[in-house]
Structure 1
Amino acid sequence: MFNNLDISAFSKKLADYANFIVCRCSGQVAGILAFYMNNGHFVYVTFVCTLKEFQRLSIFSNMLHKLENLAQEKGYEKIRLEVAKENHSAQQVYLHKDFSVVEQGDNSLFMEKWIGKHGESA
């Protein structure tokens, strides 16, 4: 999925437009979640990373929970992301967190999670 990534353009786009949730453990950055809130209907997660030594410690869960709360406060109803078709472990995590596949691309899946304005389920 990242084979043709222009890292300079991507990092500039993140710096100019993205919001970040950073999780720290003992002063060290353990995880980062980058997202855009420039669409009135959904928040778009563009980048998620958890350092290997901090995986399986609920880092992603905590960042996602914070994002859900922030999105709800701003009136968003959905969180959307894209995941590589071959990244089965990430897909399983997202499915476990109540995301569902809403669209398929050539090499990726688009997944959404309904959060409602006050967290009510669809």
Structure 2
Amino acid sequence: MVGKRVFAYLADMYIITLSQLLFFSIYRYSIEGEFKLSILYILNNYKYLFIFIYLMYFFVFEFYFRQTLGKKIFKLEVVFKNRNILSIIIRTLVRLIPVDLFLIILKSNKTLHDLLSGTEVISKPDKNA
């Protein structure tokens, strides 16, 4: 399960980064007339917007659909003890703490954002089985 969670997170990061790279490159082209795929340009000029979009991706997908696109690919789902706006805000914001992901190894498949928000990530049952 730890492996699936790590790969789901990497898939989410790929999706977020690629979509923002394309969006900001098109935006840069419309403003400056120059089309370049540059993550450094984005981070230098739009780092706060980049982080905001990163957080909103997790907030929206996990609150409304209980899974991100990466979790959907790897058949994982977020289960809430108490599904409320505060728990998803905590879950989303704690992701900014650098040691968050390393706790998955230490605490029985739970990250810091799972522990503090009262959530758990489970394998989603296969509908075809």
Normalising by structure 2, what TM-score? 0.30
Q: Which of the pair has more CA radius of gyration?
A: 2
- Larger proportion of strand: 1
- Larger proportion of helix: 2
Greater RCO structure (CA 8 Å; 6+ sep): 2
Normalising by structure 1, what TM-score? 0.32
